[in-house]
């Protein structure tokens, strides 16, 4: 069975001092807590804060991830940061294809290249998929998420035991404070799980799985973690304050 994942996506919400403060505070809170070895806690700060947060979380119960990274390893790519570079700084995870990046023009093809590069570097990709409100209204939801999974994993050759995480994030609930219901999440996760397994024949299913994202809070996390095909959460707003995020961690730590 895949481990449980709680991933904080800080987006562009904290300045560097705040990022350092929140990471330090969370580390302190976690020091007092016995954390289940199958619960992975991942912080994804902005690129500029990665190095200082990496120092803080080194040898702690927290792992580091980036919110994106570029697929080429090196070269004349103004403004880009490579997967190799985030790995050097200590990242073990990378969020790929978040809807806020797709909205800025990130294509399925770019996402696929990033997934390949992440796996080649030994990082765990957290691939975001999810429908917009319009797509849902038009009855396209299932097709959209299946398509996004297939495109992201097209011609991927992962080692059998490499972790691959798909975050189901219905775009229309992100940042609204109102998550979807658990029956909805269960249904979407089963479609994604099937697409994931179809895309990766031979991959051991215990190393890949689905997490939920979109207005997750300490109040609603139990609804999702009670589902057998949801292995954790990708958390935006509710991860920005250490004790708020800690409250969610405590719910998963049992």
Residue holding tokens 């919110």?
A: 67
Nearest distance from C-beta of residue 100 to ligand PGA, angstroms: 7
Q: Does 210 bind ligand PGA (CB under 6 A)?
A: no
Q: Which stretch binds ligand PGA (CB under 6 A): 36-44, 69-77, 144-152, 167-175?
A: 167-175
| CA nearest neighbour of 143 among 213, 198, 211, 192 | 192
User: Percentage helix, strand, coil, to 5, in the chain?
Assistant: 45, 15, 40
Of 4, 8, 44, which is closest to residue 224 (Cα–Cα)? Answer: 4
Give whichever of 209 and 214 is closer to ligand PGA, judged by the CB atom.
Answer: 214
Stretch that binds ligand PGA, among 32-40, 73-81, 209-217, 219-227 (CB under 6 A): 209-217
Instruction: Return the residue of 41, 174, 188, 200 that touches ligand PGA, per CB under 6 A.
Output: 174
Single residue of 122, 175, 181, 226 touching ligand PGA by CB under 6 A:
175
Query: What's the closest the beta carbon of residue 45 comes to ligand PGA, in angstroms?
Result: 14
Contact range with ligand PGA by CB under 6 A, out of 73-81, 106-114, 156-164, 208-216: 208-216
The answer to the question of residue 9 lying near ligand PGA (CB under 6 A) is yes
Q: How far is the CB of 105 from ligand PGA (least distance, A)?
A: 17
110 alpha-carbon distance from chain centroid: 17
Shortest distance in whole angstroms from residue 198 CB to ligand PGA: 25
Residue 89's CB is within 10 A of a number of other CB atoms, namely 15
Identified binder of ligand PGA from the candidate list 135, 169, 193, 223, rule CB under 6 A: 169
Cβ of residue 139: shortest distance to ligand PGA, in angstroms? Answer: 24
The residues facing 212 across adjacent strands are 168, 233
Rounded CA separation 130/170 (Å):
4
First to last CA, the chain: 16
Task: Collapse the DSSP code of 234 into the 3-class scheme (helix H, G, I; strand E, B; otherwise coil) and give the result.
Answer: strand
User: Of the two residues 87 and 101, which places its CB atom closer to ligand PGA in the complex?
Assistant: 101
For ligand PGA, the closer of residues 127 and 174 by Cβ is 174
x/- site string to ligand PGA, residues 213 to 252, per CB under 6 A? xxxx-----------------xxxxx--------------
Question: How far is the CA of 156 from the CAs of 56, 67, 120, 204, 214, in angstroms?
Answer: 34, 21, 10, 14, 27
Nearest to 233 by CA among 53, 7, 2: 7
Nearest to 203 by CA among 157, 137, 251, 142: 157
Point out which residues bind ligand PGA (CB under 6 A). 9, 169, 174-175, 213-216, 234-238
């Amino acid at each position: 069975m895949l481990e449980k994942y709680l991933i904080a996506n800080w987006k562009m919400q904290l300045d560097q001092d705040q990022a350092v403060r929140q990471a330090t505070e969370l580390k302190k809170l976690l020091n007092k807590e016995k954390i289940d070895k199958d619960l992975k806690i991942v912080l994804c700060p902005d690129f500029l804060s990665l190095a200082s947060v990496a120092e803080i979380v080194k040898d702690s119960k927290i792992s580091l991830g980036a919110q994106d990274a570029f697929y080429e390893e090196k070269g004349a790519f103004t403004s880009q940061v490579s997967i190799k570079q985030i790995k050097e700084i200590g990242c073990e995870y990378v969020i790929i294809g978040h809807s806020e990046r797709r909205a800025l023009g990130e294509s399925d093809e770019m996402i696929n290249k990033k997934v390949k590069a992440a796996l080649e570097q030994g990082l765990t990709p957290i691939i975001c998929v999810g429908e917009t409100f319009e797509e849902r209204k038009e009855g396209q939801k299932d097709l959209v998420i299946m398509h996004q999974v297939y495109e992201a994993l097209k011609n991927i050759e992962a080692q059998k035991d490499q972790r691959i995480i798909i975050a189901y994030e219905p775009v229309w609930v992100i940042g609204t404070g109102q998550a979807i219901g658990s029956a909805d999440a269960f249904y979407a996760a089963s479609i994604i799980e099937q697409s994931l397994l179809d895309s990766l024949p031979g991959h051991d299913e215990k190393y890949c799985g689905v997490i939920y994202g979109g207005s997750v809070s300490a109040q609603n996390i139990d609804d999702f973690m009670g589902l057998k095909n949801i292995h954790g959460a990708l958390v935006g707003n509710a991860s920005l304050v250490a004790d708020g995020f800690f409250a969610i961690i405590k719910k998963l730590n049992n």
